[in-house]
Amino acid sequence: MNFDKLQICDRCQGDACYVTEVTSEIKSYMCFGCGFQTNSLMKKGEQFFNEQMENLPSLYKELMVEDEEGKIWFPTMINIPDKGMIFADGTRASNFKWTAVKAIKMSEEEKDKFKKLGKDYEYKMDNDNMKHFSRDDFIEAIDFLGVFESENKEL
C-alpha cells in the first residue's frame, strides 16, 4: 500500500511536508518548507540511524533535530542529474545556508573522457555559478534549479 501526501512538518510546522509510505511500517518525510528530511527509522538507537551517523558530514550532524515523536531530522541533499544539486553548506550551524548548483551539458570532449572510464554522463555541475540561499529559502533554491518548470512549456 503506497501513498503520498502533504502534511504539517513535525520539525518546522510548515504545511509542505511530503510523506511517502515506503511500507506499512516505514514512512519517509521530506519538507519543502525547511529542507529537512527524516523517516520512521531515523531514531536514536535504531541501526539505520547509527549507520547514517557514521557517514553524515559534521555540519549535518550539528543541524539534526529530534521531533516530539523521536524522529531525527537532518538537511536534505538533492541531486537531479539534468537540473543540479542542493546541499547544506557552511562550517557550523550558525553560518549554514543552502547552496544550489545548476547542471550544464558536458562538451563532447568531456563526455569522451568519462566514456573511457566506463561512465556515460551528459551533465556536470556548474560550480563556477553556484548560488547561496538563506536557511529559510530552501524552496527558492529548488526553484533556482528549475525543478518546478513544466516540461511542456505550452501548458
Q: Please, which residues bridge with residue 88 across strands?
A: 98
pLDDT tens column, 80-135: 999 999 999 999 999 999 999 999 999 999 888 888 888 888 999 999 999 999 99
Contacts of 128 (CB under 8 A, 6+ apart): none
Q: Any idea where the domains of the chain sit in the sequence?
A: 4-75, 78-145
- Distance, in Å, from the CA atom of 40 to the CA atom of 28, rounded to the nearest integer, reads 7
Q: So what's the pLDDT on residue 117? A: 82
Does the reported pTM lie above 0.95?
A: no
Q: Which amino acid is at 150?
A: S
Q: How confident is the model at residue 20 (pLDDT cuts 50, 70, 90)?
A: very high
For 16-45, what is the mean pLDDT? 94
- Distance, in Å, from the CA atom of 20 to the CA atom of 39, rounded to the nearest integer, reads 9
Kindly state the helix (H) or strand (E) to which residue 62 belongs, with its residue range. Answer: helix 58-63
For 33-42, what is the mean pLDDT? 96
